[in-house]
Structures are given as C-alpha cells and as structure tokens.
Amino acid sequence: MAARVFIDGEAGTTGLLIRDLLAARADIEIVSIDPDKRKDAGAKRDLMAGVDLVILCLPDDAAKESVALAAELGDRAPKILDASTAHRCAAGWVYGFAELASGQAEAIAGAKLVANPGCYATGAIALLRPLVDAGLIPADFPITINAVSGYSGGGKSMIADYEARRAPDFELYALGLEHKHIPEIQAYANLTRRALFVPSVADFRQGMIVSIPLHLDALPGQPTGPALEAALQAHYAGGGFVRVIAADARAAEAGKLEPQALNDTNAMELRVHANDARKHAVLTARLDNLGKGASRAAVQNLDLMLGLA
C-alpha cells in the first residue's frame, strides 16, 4: 500500500518541487486539501488524521500552528517533516541531516518529528562538524562563513524580482548579522561560539557555495590542508549524498568553483583549498539550494521516516 503524504504549503517553491519529485512514485500517494479549506483548522486536522506523514512548507508561525493541530490527534497523529525554521533547534525534534554523524539516519528513521535543515546550514555544518569532532577546530574558535545562493531560495517575491530584472546581479544581505540559520549552525556544528555569517544572492536561479576561510596557524596544532581533508574523508567514507573532492580531482578546476554544477541533484561536494606555505585554507561546500538544501533533502528524510530508503 502506498504511503499517504500531505504537503502543507504545496504551492510554494519547496512544496512544488517536493510534489513534483513524489508525483511519479508508486509508493507515495499525495493527499491535498481543498484550496478553499487551507485555513480551516478542522478540515486540516481531519485530513492529517488520514495520512502517514505531513511535510510542512510554511512560514514559521503557520508551521507551529499545523504542528499543534497534529498534536490534537494524539496517537493518530502523522509523522511530521518540517521544512521551516521553526523547529530546527526545538526539543523533541530530530535534525534532518542524515550525514551529520553516526546514527543520525537511524534517528531520522525512528522519529515522529523531523526538522529539515536550512540550505546554508547544510553546507556549513557539513564542513565544520567533522573538524570540530576531530579536534582540529576548537568549539569556541571564531568562525566566519560566507555563502552565495541562487535567487530561488528567497521565495516568491525575490524570484519575481530577479525574473523581471528588477533585482541587482549580486548583493550581500542579512547584514544585521541575525540570519535565521545561525542557531542551527552553532547547535549542529557543535560550536560554543556564535559564527559570523554573511550570505549573498546572485542572478542565477539555483545553486550554492558555502565557504569558510581559516588561518591554519591560528588553530591548535596548526593542521595542514591534507589533515583537514583526511578528517572530512573519514567522516563521509560511507558514501551517500555527500562527497569530499580530493586534491587530485581539484587540480583540474584551476582554482575556480562555480555554484550551479550540482543543480537538480541531492548531492553535496566538500573541498579543502589550502596553501600550506601561507598557512591558509578555505573550506567549501557546493550544493543545490533547492536540492540538498531543501526539497530533495526533504524527500531523503521522507524515505527514511517511512522506511522507503
């Protein structure tokens, strides 16, 4: 029997792609609510009672309201996968980054409540967590994170502005230094000191690079680039959707990296660009902000939660 899935907020960018990814699958039945009843709490609760899993593609406050509705069902409540920011650091929720650490995929598979990660956070945590756990980067080290994303991550208004040529080719944003992904980066990278994060958006639809510069001589033990790369390789040795690109493969890139190469995939590539003579390194994560950064990651988590992986 096909698993029944309700996408609450299926008309948004993330929800639309999730729906497209699931639509052709014989093991999934997508259940939709009558558009006229989207804000009818009783109708939504009744629909939730008849599905196996709900994916929330909503603003934070609306996501919290839907979670509260599901909770009213008690033992009949479906599993919930929340793509909003609302529950990523909340007690009782499992963080939906399967490659985070040993046992994380199993924790997602056994969870009733899973929070899908943020796109920038996925790249930053993927780079930092293995190096913090290995003792190569102290938990209280001052970390700076830079990132660039395609405009599709900004929602309907940003997409409309870029596609109508009303937006600049490139801009920094969130310069109040309070970006909503910072708490989850700190929590799941095992940092005790808040990272400094500066995101940017450019005139391409999707794709993302997250970069973290390091002064190697400021780190305890002054690790080399190969030591950082080895720690990442060891962490992701099991394969899957995260891959560490080794130095020999990077040689053909001529010291350049563009953000769109992994579009329409759930893949993420990690690199250590090091100049050991200068004791400098830049860590980079490349991913699709709509793929491993959003909708395709949600499908990966859905498969784990429903035992379909």
Buried b (16+ CB within 10 A) or exposed e, 116-149: bbbbbbbbbbbbbbbbbebebbeeebebebbbbb
The letter for the amino acid at 267 is A
Residues with a catalytic annotation lie at 119
Question: Which residues touch 250 (CB under 8 Å, ≥6 apart)?
Answer: 271, 273
Length of the chain: 309
Tokens of 136: 């190569």
CB–CB of 191/133 below 8 Å? Answer: no
87 vs 216: CA distance, rounded Å: 35
Q: Rounded to the nearest 5°, which phi and psi values hold at 168?
A: -70, 160
3 vs 81: CA distance, rounded Å: 14
Buried b (16+ CB within 10 A) or exposed e, 73-101: eeeebbbbbbbbbbbbeeeebbbbbbbbb
